[in-house]
Amino acid sequence: MTKNKNLIIYYSRTGNTKEIAELIQSMVGGDIIRIETQEPRPANYRKEVEQNQFEQGTDFLPELTTVIDNFDDYQNIFIGTPTWNMALPQAVLTFLRTYDFSGKLILPFNTNGGYGTGNTLNQIEGNINGAKMTSGFSVKGGEENKGILFTIEGIHKDGVSTKLDNWLKQNYK
């Protein structure tokens, strides 16, 4: 067992954050796991917007099917999330509140529809038991409100890869 084992954990509805997670894995290696909820999420965008707002407003924590058995083995935890209503999807909070991050290095990454990370990075930082967190990596992904679902491809993907490479050089030793 190596001490520097990487876990790349992410939440993704339309594949943008997933794509970044896979790019990170191709660059640094490690295990990759998707956060999934017990209850399927609404397929309809408007319904998801409403349900998410309700969950954020009531601090409801959706149950997950995702279980990480050997969490203690990981030293570097890359946590990927989209911005939802300028904050974390509550499923990511369920994940954060389930595990003890003490002594680990947290490397957060984000995609959003153009309004930025919002509160997502602060929320991650506030739920990792004081573990060290690097600066976040964030790029524009989809704009589902305009029917644009997945964008990390072609020339945009090339630009994202270069930016990601630089972020890793600065934050991942």
Residues of this chain that bind ligand FMN (CB under 6 A): 12-18, 48-49, 52, 82-86, 111-115, 118, 141-144
Q: Give the nearest distance from C-beta 22 to ligand FMN in angstroms.
A: 11
Nearer to ligand FMN, 104 or 109 (CB): 109
Q: What is the DSSP letter of 36?
A: -
Paired tokens of 4: 């520097």
Nearer to ligand FMN, 82 or 136 (CB): 82
Q: In this structure, how many other beta carbons lie within 10 angstroms of the beta carbon of residue 118?
A: 17
Run of H or E residues at 162: helix 154-171
Q: Give the nearest distance from C-beta 70 to ligand FMN in angstroms.
A: 25
Q: Give the nearest distance from C-beta 49 to ligand FMN in angstroms.
A: 5
104: nearest Cα among 74, 148, 67, 136: 74
Nearer to ligand FMN, 111 or 134 (CB): 111
89: nearest Cα among 169, 4, 3, 11: 11
Residues sharing a CB contact under 8 Å with residue 53, sequence separation 6 or more, in sequence order: 85
Q: Which residue is nearest to ligand FMN (CB)?
A: 141
Q: Give the nearest distance from C-beta 34 to ligand FMN in angstroms.
A: 10
Nearer to ligand FMN, 18 or 104 (CB): 18
Nearer to ligand FMN, 90 or 127 (CB): 90
Please list the residues that pair with 64 across neighbouring strands.
Answer: 37
Distance CA 71, CA 64 (A): 16
Q: Give the nearest distance from C-beta 13 to ligand FMN in angstroms.
A: 3
Q: What is the DSSP letter of 143?
A: B
Helix axis angle, 90-98 relative to 45-58, nearest 10°? 50
